């Protein structure tokens, strides 16, 4: 039966990948995973489908999820990211493992948003079981080196801390509803929204001024000294000093030049609690790397422990690389005797050769034309 017009299309935000695109994605993925292994991260895999109870509580927008029902009527969701599924895995099958755990992954994630891509490959790491600033610095340095190792030249990482914003909210006595609105607008870099909510907040003029400055407050370590003048509240001072230690560690890792402090960074998942960071590539108006510390998530799975990590949105990086010709067969085997052709192809493949077998009887002239069209350098006629 002829497919309808809809049956010949793909859902919004999904995409097909051609052989050339797959080749680029696999090369990038393999290079990044090799780097992760050098830093002692071990790969894990989790299911594409999770129970909503696993991923939904920490999703800011409920409609972000693709949801389904199983045969028992339970609500399932396509994973929107990997941090929560890995937290589930570590808290169940890996419960009691020696800490800290260094895990990595490469998998597709699905987000039902209005952005261009709703299915994309993520490659990332989770460092579980350490509350040290050195752990934060390790994952940030690893993220920077991963992007640099792909050959990208024009990239920039921004580093902030959730404690500065939450400390300001605590000091100003902002209620949870207003804080959530401000946090969401700041996370989306929605300055119109930030200004609107700040004007409606009824906060002291000084606090309003600081909130409006946050999205533009970035630079080197010198900006941290100014933040210390904002407040005597311990939560803010602790966040500032933590950020300072992480930033200095990044100098020791040799990546500080690629990282700027940015106090306006807030992450879109509610589980982030400490240092947060984003990585940008020239020509792309959205982060291709996102990460940070999340010290309360594991308590939700019954095994409280600190953690930090990041994800690289690998699918969004494909456009940054030229599409080389896909490596095809080395030898085209043709002739008139099918049995002999099969045996010859199998013998060549056993030696490691890439072989394409002609499926019908073919003469020399037609075989030469096929080889040219398929960019196959060597022909073999089987009598």
Instruction: Give tens-digit pLDDT for 187-240.
Output: 666 777 777 777 777 777 777 777 777 777 788 888 888 878 777 778 888 999
DSSP-assigned states of every residue in 225-277: HHHTTT---HHHHHHHHHHHHHHHHHHHHT-GGGEEEETT---SBTT--SEEE
Please choose, from the candidates 86, 80, 154, the residue with its C-alpha nearest in 3D space to the C-alpha of residue 117: 80
CB 310 within 8 A of CB 124: yes
pLDDT score recorded for residue 62? 61
Residue with tokens 């490469």: 106
The Cα 202–Cα 23 span in angstroms is 55
Q: Of 319, 166, 308, 320, which Cα lies nearest the Cα of 249?
A: 308
pLDDT top residue among 254 and 263: 254
Global confidence as pTM: 0.89
**Is residue 282 very low, low, confident or very high in pLDDT (cuts 50, 70, 90)?**
confident
Instruction: Determine the straight-line distance between the first and last CA of the chain, rounded to whole angstroms.
Output: 42
Q: Can you read off the two tokens belonging to residue 267?
A: 């992450």
Name the CATH code of domain 10-161+246-320 (choices 1.10.1380.10, 3.30.420.40, 3.40.30.10, 3.30.930.10).
3.30.930.10
Q: What is the mean pLDDT of residues 252-264?
A: 93
Q: Residue 177 pLDDT more than 80? A: no
> What are the C-alpha distances in Å from 62 to residues 58, 113, 268?
9, 11, 12
Contact between residue 256 and residue 145 where contact means Cβ atoms under 8 Å apart: no
**Residue 222's CB: how many other CB atoms inside 10 A?**
8
185 vs 117, higher pLDDT: 117
Listed residue (172, 170, 164) closest to 198, CA to CA: 172
What values do phi and psi take at 132, rounded to 5?
A: -80, 145
Instruction: Please give the pLDDT value at position 212.
Output: 75
Radius of gyration of the chain (CA): 26
* Confidence (pLDDT) at 204: 73
Please, what's the b/e burial string for 45-80 (b: 16 or more CB within 10 A of its CB; e: otherwise)?
A: ebeeebebebbbebbeeeebbbeeeeeeeeebbbbb
- pLDDT the model gives residue 269: 57
Using CA atoms, how far apart are residues 333 and 201, in angstroms rounded to an integer? 75
Residue spans of the domains in the chain: they are 10-161+246-320, 331-382
Residue 122's SS3 state is: strand
Query: Mean pLDDT over residues 98-114, rounded?
Result: 94
Please tell me the predicted confidence (pLDDT) of residue 185: 72
CA distance linking residue 316 with residue 319, whole number of Å = 7
Burial-class residue 195 by CB neighbours within 10 Å (0-12, 13-18, 19+).
Answer: middle
How confident is the model over 335-360, as a mean pLDDT?
A: 96
Query: If we measure between CA atoms, which residue out of 379, 371, 297, 275 comes closest to residue 333?
Result: 379
CA-CA-CA-CA torsion sign (72, 110, 191, 247): positive
Summarize pLDDT for 114-148 with one digit per residue, the tens: 777 899 899 999 999 999 999 999 999 999 999 99
Write the CB contacts of 158 (distance below 8 Å, at least 6 apart in sequence): 218, 259, 260, 261, 262, 265, 277, 278, 279, 280
Q: Mean pLDDT score of the chain, rounded to an integer?
A: 89
DSSP code at position 316? G
């Amino acid at each position: 039966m002829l497919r309808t017009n809809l049956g010949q299309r793909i859902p919004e935000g999904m995409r097909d990948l051609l052989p050339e695109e797959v080749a680029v994605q696999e090369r990038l993925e393999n290079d990044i995973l090799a780097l992760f292994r050098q830093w002692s991260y071990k790969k894990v895999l989790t299911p594409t489908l999770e129970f909503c109870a696993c991923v939904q509580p920490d999703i800011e927008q409920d409609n972000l999820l693709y949801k389904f029902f199983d045969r028992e009527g339970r609500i399932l969701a396509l994973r929107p990211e990997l941090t929560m599924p890995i937290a589930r895995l570590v808290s169940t099958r890996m419960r009691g493992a020696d800490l800290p755990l260094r895990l990595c992954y490469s998998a597709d994630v699905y987000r039902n948003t209005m952005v261009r891509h709703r299915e994309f490959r993520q490659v990332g790491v989770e460092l579980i079981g350490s509350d040290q600033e050195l752990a934060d610095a390790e994952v940030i340095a690893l993220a920077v080196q991963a992007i640099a190792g792909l050959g990208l030249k024009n990239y920039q990482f921004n580093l902030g801390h959730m404690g500065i914003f939450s400390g300001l909210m605590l000091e100003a006595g902002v209620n949870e509803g207003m804080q959530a609105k401000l946090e969401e607008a700041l996370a989306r870099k929605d300055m119109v929204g930030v200004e609107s909510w700040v004007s409606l907040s009824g906060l002291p003029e000084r606090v309003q001024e600081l909130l409006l400055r946050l999205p533009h407050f970035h630079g080197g370590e010198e900006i941290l000294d100014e933040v210390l003048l904002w407040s005597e509240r311990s939560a803010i001072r602790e966040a500032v000093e933590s950020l300072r230690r992480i930033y200095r560690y990044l100098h020791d890792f040799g990546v500080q030049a690629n990282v700027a402090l940015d106090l306006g960074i807030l992450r879109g998942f509610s589980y982030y609690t400490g240092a947060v960071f984003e990585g940008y590539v020239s020509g792309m108006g959205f982060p291709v790397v996102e990460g940070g510390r999340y010290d309360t998530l594991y308590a939700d799975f019954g095994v409280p422990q600190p953690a930090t990590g990041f994800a690289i949105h690998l699918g969004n990086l494909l456009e940054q690389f030229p599409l080389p010709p896909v490596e095809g067969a080395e030898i085209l085997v043709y002739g008139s005797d099918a049995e002999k052709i099969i045996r010859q192809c199998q013998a060549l493949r056993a030696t490691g050769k890439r072989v394409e077998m002609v499926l019908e009887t073919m003469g020399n002239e037609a075989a030469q034309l096929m080889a040219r069209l398929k960019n196959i350098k060597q022909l073999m006629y089987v009598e």
